[in-house]
Structure 1
Amino acid sequence: MKCTRISVKISIALTLLAALTLAGCKAPPPPVTDDTVVTSEVDGVTLTHRYAVQPPHSFTPVNETYRALYGATVMTRPDFGGKIVRHLENGKPFNVLGQVEGHWLAIADEEQLELIGYVPFKAGVKSDLYDATVRSDRPKPRKSTNKVCVDVGGKSKACRNNDTATWILE
């Protein structure tokens, strides 16, 4: 009977030891993928972004709504060496979180604060300046000018064709 009590006690002790050992184990963290949301602190500003988007080295906050001047490519880092995230749609608004190194803009979707990537500085303009910028970028109509002619000697003269900028002997 003594032997069974000891084996029961040992069995209970081993069960408790196993339970305590397993209770101390943590499940491994989920694997980090490109879509895992992480935070980074740059120049005192906390940025939330996908793991695939590299945090900038320097950051100057802007926090303004801009509109795209063309279908710019949104990159994972502030240069053309990164991966393409998406393309901006011409004229569509987006949020500029800040300006980063190399005169690139750190951007987010409209009315969002999560960094989605970077676009070149000239890819957008502040929303309130968009209409004036687009109007001023249109080509100006050419003025019609009078025909320019010069004497080349005797009864001959050379006249400039204003459309092609060539000279024609008459």
Structure 2
Amino acid sequence: MMMQLGHDAYCTNKHSLLNVMNRFIAAANNMDETIMVPSLLRDLPLEEQAGGAAVGRNEPALPSKQRDMYEHYLLLKSIKNDMEWGLLKRELSGGTSFLEMAVKQEQQNHGTASPAEDSSDLEGQFHFHLRGLFGVLSKLTVQADHLTNRYKREIGGGSLLR
């Protein structure tokens, strides 16, 4: 009982990693449940045009690597799946996840450091990556919410139906 109470208190802390991860997964699940026809997102630019609905102050500028809302939708789903299933599922299917690509790039950027150098400041490395993970997950959550809300506006306005 005491162990469960401690775990529940830990999970309800809004600053916990588990809470941030759960918020992103919930936003991605909401996005997936709301967007019934993802193909309608094809060829819709990530940024709304000045003549259309204005992007709210709290809605992020989306990255330009994805060309349209459909590609961004697929990216968010892929990240959510990697978080829920880990890298093993990707390895079994032969695919490369975004996380794997980032790890490989990190290894290439740092060259061949000796194991002693890699583990000399594990606490510092952990906190550096934890801060980065918090920031990325927070941005992904906002972007999933933005994509869901934009889809609702577009469908509601009928501009996706041709």
Query: Quick check: which one's strand share is greater?
Result: 1
TM-score range relative to shorter protein: under 0.3
TM-score, normalised via structure 1 length: 0.27
Query: Who wins on radius of gyration, i.e. which is larger?
Result: 1
Query: Quick check: which one's helix share is greater?
Result: 2
